[in-house]
Structure 1
Amino acid sequence: MPRTNHPETFSRPGWATAAVCLASAAMPITFTGPAVALREIEAHLGGSPLALAWVTNAFMLAFGSCLMAAGALADKHGRRKVFLGAIAVFVAASLALMASPNLWVFDGLRALQGVASAGVLAAGAAALAQEVQGQARVRAFSLLGTSFGAGLTLGPVAAGWLTTAFGWQTIFVLVIATASIAFSIGMRVLRESRDPAAQKLDVPGALAITSALTLFTFAILQAPAQGWLHPMTISALCGTALLLAAFVFVERRHPRPLLDLSLFRYSRFVGVQLLAAAPAFGFVVLLVLLPIRFIGIEGVPVAQAGLWMAALSAPLVVLPAVAGRLSHWISPATLCAAGLLMAACGLVSLSVSAGGAAALWPMFAIGVGISLPWGLMDGLAVSVVPTERAGMATGIFSTVRVAGEGLALAMVGALLTALIAHELLTATHLPSDTAVAVAQVLVSGNLAGAQAGWPSIGAAELMRAFEAAFSTLLMVLAGGTGLIALFVFRFLRTPNVPSATNCLGESA
């Protein structure tokens, strides 16, 4: 009888797909797990509301800003080598996180996890593309997308159960085990491959875009406490603008840029970038904000809150494949726009729900709506540009999606802080700086800390301010998601030809 558990008795492409999918599934678990366990992490490590905000932002910022550079390094130095090396760094950072002495060290290690995750995803996808061909490649990358959906679904559920039963550190045991299995398989079956035309990494471009995203995130997170007109906030925003200008300058002159700006001549390519950013505001931010609301404000047990989050993310395990089949009869523009509009309706419904279990059906509607574009985005990213530009298009798309999620978290958190502060100012006539300080504590989900720090404000008033602000925020997100749906429909229906001018106004 053949030994079916040996890599050689299963196709090499099959085992390569398994290795990359397992490694990729660890990434969303790493993102969503600490969000569910945020209260326990704070209780163990302490830290300010700003430091708590960086628990998720540090990971997503590093992940998104390093994707293009990681892809370039993999092409030059070897996809297998970068893939396995990135997993090793990811595992080491995860082990160190379990022994962090304070929250700022924890945040730094989260950033290192994000850098490693960029290497895992970029090099893994590139290596997989060399292992599978034709229709098998389509199936493999469909499984890669499904693995992300599975990770998003499993992350909150597993994090809630593990945190309750064994402590928050065991969340990282799960991702270490998953990544280690991927490493073991990948080391045996992945073949080394490089791009013979690859040149040296565009270091100035990589530094400029990473610094710009970091500075902008810092400005957004600091602004609620310091004020938008504070010199530090203004300096950070001006620095962001200068760094972005420097990035464009470098990319226009580099022989192998990280970002080929000429791709923005294609209207459908612009539509795909909008599509990549849409889930960040209509879905991904909820993966962080809803556990904060359920656990920190409403007092839902951690394990139960993690289970509730499956209502939001479970549709991503099944429905993206359904969307792919529907695209044979319904245009991708229509499917994507319809899905985003459904998600917007779910956000409106969630904004008027009473909270608790009443939020589950609106959450499910949002998950179903997002699943339709989610199942088509990766394919559209490479189909809306000429074939020879597909690699660069995929890198840009992945960067916009992941970096957009990190920026969305920062911006939505700042907006929620401002909305809560406004509610408190209206209801209690607190000094503005006090209202902002209370709001920052509430945004981190620490209702007990807000009560202890400002006992003159009743718990009912604090909860009312949070719920009113949260409802307003959801309406804003619904409006933005609906607007993006209209733009996506407009751009994706455009014939696939370059515009007369590119995004910089230059002649094509």
Structure 2
Amino acid sequence: MSIPLLLQQRLILLAVCITAISMPFNFTAPAVALPAIGRTFGGSPMELNWVTNAFMLTFGSCLMLAGALADNYGRKRIFFGGVSAFAVLAAALPLAPSLALFDVLRAAQGLAAAAAFSGGMSALAQVFDGPGRIRAFSFVGTSFGIGLAFGPVVAGAIVEAFDWHLVFPLITVLAVISLSLASRYMRESRNPDAAGVDWPGAITFTWALGIFTYAILKAPESGWSDPLVLGLFAVALLSFVAFVMIEQHVAQPMLDLTLFRFPRFVGVQLLAAAPAYSFVVLLILLPIRFVGIEGMSEVAAGWLLIALSAPLLVLPVVAGYLTRWLSPSTLCGSGLLVCAAGLFWLSHVPVGSAATELAWPMLVIGAGISLPWGLMDGMAVSVVPKERAGMATGIFSTTRVAGEGVAIAVVTALLSAFTAGHLGNAATPDIVGAAQHLATGDLAGAAQRLPAAGHAALAEGYSAAFSTLLRVLTAITVLTAAVVFLFLDRGSVADDTDTERDDQVLDQAG
């Protein structure tokens, strides 16, 4: 029995939205559960950071490849395979016997998430057109908001009432629901002009981005001048140069470099990285601050984080409808300015303040980032021909996720450096070590490194460093907003191409 086309479209959208809920939950839940995971496995603060970093490394590095595979071998096939693997790996995580294997499984989850995300988003682009596509992707943005808003609360409640091991099976349940809908209602599609995957380009790009991201993540632990870190950066640079050379000589490149001639396309990619420094890093840093430094329970920290992510439940959909009257550049740029105001406000709220003093600026930050959040994905697939939606999704998602991984590593390193500066004038090994412990929420470990300082002085130094960091993030967000106002896409690359062609014709006629 066939079902109406509109209902089928909505069920496909629901399948992708459920997957979209599970991914931010998989990202934020371990941040809340990290102290409990540390108590189970042990390990240094830097080793525990890889619970998050391993997932981000593989997720961000493989999105471009996943997008190319979706265009060539079928969007439904890649989506279905990615979600299936994501579900199995989530079920396997609680069974890991060691932190090392746990991190390996998290890295494998990143591979599966890349396939699920690229396949699902590019499949969705085939179902909706025009304004309907922007509204559909705004619902996906709202779904991410649900995962972000309730992930920390649910994870905190599970950790406090039961055990952190029960967090990950919930992800498996969500994935199974998504799979049941997709298997029945999602139709297979692929790029009819695809001539196979650009494997040399795919492998070179994935290798280059992976090495670069690993170097960024390794630097806070080993130091930015460490020979290994410098060597990794050099290898990444040479690999990126090799990738550009490969892409210039293949008939069907994984990344169409000519797209970067168009300011509209570049604007969308710059927008993709904006939430990393203005919002995503707070999803990691704030739970660490609340639980490790402020002494909140996991549940209390989760509830407080709702102030940051609750606007994502509503405002992305609102932004989709507002595009009928306002341009995307106006909505996105204005949202980033609001977000910057919230960051500056939060920088004046020290450690030890009441929850309400923290909640209000967090709410402003969440409201500001919600406006571009609901528009970004739809705009990413609108700037290229429909047949290459997988490539567009891969480029945009790679920029966003890789940017988030890099942002988390850089911001953590800055917080550690700022903390060391506030703890003492000289960067002695004990001060640096104490600062690293504080940056990961380990107040007791910092006190062991500097027993004479006392918990109050350590918390005060961390608080001052956190405020300095937030002011830096404010400046970055304001600059990003200025760039967005200038370059954000107001149409499609096709429009730019037509204009460029018309100009050439006029030049020839003249």
Q: Same fold (TM over 0.5)?
A: yes
CA distance in 2, matches of 1:388, 1:225: 43
Q: Which residue of 2 aligns with 1:375?
A: 374
Larger CA deviation: 152-161 vs 133-142: 133-142
Task: Kindly indicate whether the alpha-carbon contact (under 8 Å) linking 2:55 and 2:106 is maintained by their aligned counterparts in 1.
Answer: yes
- Paired AA for residue 349 in structure 1: W
For residue 267 of structure 1, what is the aligned residue in structure 2? 263
Relative to structure 2, which stretch is displaced further, 144-153 or 187-196?
187-196
Name the structure 2 match of 1:124: 120
Deviates more, 1:404-413 or 1:12-21: 12-21
Aligned residue for 2:314, secondary structure, equals helix
Does the 8 Å CA contact 2:218/2:229 hold for their aligned counterparts? yes
1:468-483 superposed matches below 5 A: 468-483=464-479
Give the conservation status (yes or no) of the 8 Å contact 1:213–1:240.
Answer: yes
Aligned to 1:503: none
Please show how residues 399-438 of structure 1 align to structure 2 within 5 Å: 399-426=398-425, 429=426, 432-438=428-434
Which residue of the other structure, out of 335, 339, 358, is the alignment partner of 1:339? 335
Q: Measure the CA separation in 1 of the matches of 2:403 and 2:255.
A: 16
2:308 corresponding residue in structure 1: 312
The alignment partner of 1:98 has SS state of: helix
CA offsets 1:429-476 (integer angstroms, 9 cap, x no match): 5x5222222222111111122223442331112111211111111000
User: Any conservation in 2 of the 1:267–1:497 contact (CA below 8 Å)?
Assistant: no
Could you give the per-residue CA deviations for residues 323-372 of structure 1, whole angstroms, max 9, x where no partner exists?
22323223222221111111111111101113441211110000011111
Q: Which amino acid aligns with 1:155?
A: G
What is the CA–CA distance in structure 1 between the aligned matches of 2:129 and 2:222, rounded to whole Å? 53
The alpha-carbon deviation at position 146 of structure 1 amounts to 1.7
Question: CA 1:63–1:224 in 2, change beyond 3 Å: closer, same or farther?
Answer: closer
Matched, 1:251 2:223: no
Distance across 2 between alignment mates of 1:258 and 1:78: 15
For residue 190 of structure 2, give the secondary structure of its aligned residue in structure 1: coil
Corresponding position of 1:102: 98
The CA deviation at 1:134 is 6.2
Pick which of 446-455 and 368-377 moved more.
446-455
Write the letter of the residue equivalent to 1:375: G
Choose 452-461 or 144-153, whichever is displaced more: 452-461
**1:8 positional shift:** 5.3
Aligned partner of 2:179 in structure 1 is 183
- Structure 2 distance, partners of 1:131, 1:390, is 11
Please say if residues 72 and 198 of structure 1, whose CA atoms lie closer than 8 Å, have aligned partners that are also in contact: no
Is there any run of 5+ residues in structure 1 with no aligned partner, and where?
Answer: 1-5, 501-508
Is 1:352 paired with 2:351?
Answer: no
Shift of 1:235: 1.0
Q: With the length of structure 1 as denominator, give the TM-score of the two structures.
A: 0.91
Report the TM-score when normalising by structure 2.
Answer: 0.90
Correspondent of 1:239 among 222, 231, 235: 235
The structure-2 alpha-carbon separation of the partners of 1:225 and 1:12, relative to structure 1 and needing over 3 Å to count, comes to closer
Does residue 205 of structure 1 match 2:204?
no
Q: Deviations over 1:370-426 (max 9, x none)?
A: 111112222332444566765533331122112111111111111111111222232
- Tell me, yes or no, if the aligned pair for 2:437 and 2:445 is still in contact at 8 Å: yes
The 8 Å contact of residues 272 and 396 in structure 2, kept in 1 or not, is answered as yes
Are residue 15 (structure 1) and residue 14 (structure 2) matched?
no
AA aligned to 2:475 is G
**Partners of 2:126 and 2:386 within 8 A in 1:** no
Deviation at 1:220, TM superposition (A): 2.7
The alpha carbon displacement at 1:61 in A equals 2.1
Residues 26-37 of structure 1 mapped to structure 2, 5 A cutoff: 26-37=22-33
Output one character per residue of 1:179-210: Cα deviation in whole Å (capped at 9) or x when no partner: 11111222222233333332332223223233
Match for residue 25 of structure 1? 21
Q: How many Å apart are 1:74 and its aligned residue? A: 2.2
Query: 1:364 and 2:363 equivalent?
Result: yes
Are the counterparts in 1 of residues 431 and 449 from structure 2 also a CA contact under 8 Å? no
Q: Return the match for 2:485 from 486, 489, 499.
A: 489
After superposition, the Cα gap between the structure-2 partners of 1:434 and 1:246, relative to the gap in structure 1 and judged at 3 Å, is farther
* C-alpha distance in 2 between matches for 1:244 and 1:381: 23
| Aligned partners of 1:7 and 1:189 also within 8 Å | no
How big is the shift at 1:30?
Answer: 0.3
Aligned equivalents of 2:211, 2:128: Cα separation in 1:
39
Contact 1:220-1:414 within 8 A present in 2 as well: no
Structure 2: distance between partners of 1:371 and 1:154: 16
Partners in 2 of 1:146 and 1:446 — Cα distance?
33
**SS of the residue aligned with 1:312?**
helix
Question: For residues 439 and 7 of structure 1, what CA distance do their matches in structure 2 show?
Answer: 62
Q: 1:490 to 1:126 in 2, by over 3 A?
A: closer
**Which deviates more, 199-208 or 61-70?**
199-208
Deviation at 1:290, TM superposition (A): 0.3
Q: Percent identity?
A: 53
Unaligned 5+ runs, structure 2: 501-510
1:98 shift after superposition: 0.6
- Match of residue 49, structure 1, among 45, 49, 69: 45
CA distance in 1, matches of 2:226, 2:134: 50
Work out the CA distance in 1 between the residues paired with 2:127 and 2:321: 25
State the SS of the aligned residue for 2:496.
Answer: coil
Among candidates 406, 419, 439, match of residue 443 of structure 1:
439
Structure 1 residue identity aligned to 2:417: A
Whether 1:63 aligns to 2:98 is: no
- Does the residue aligned with 1:55 lie in a helix, a strand or coil? helix
Corresponding residue for 1:457? Answer: 453
Is the 1:71–1:122 contact (alpha carbons within 8 Å) kept by the matching residues of 2? yes
Aligned to 1:300: 296
Matched with 1:157 is: 153
User: 1:19: how far off?
Assistant: 1.6
- 1:367 maps to a residue whose letter is G
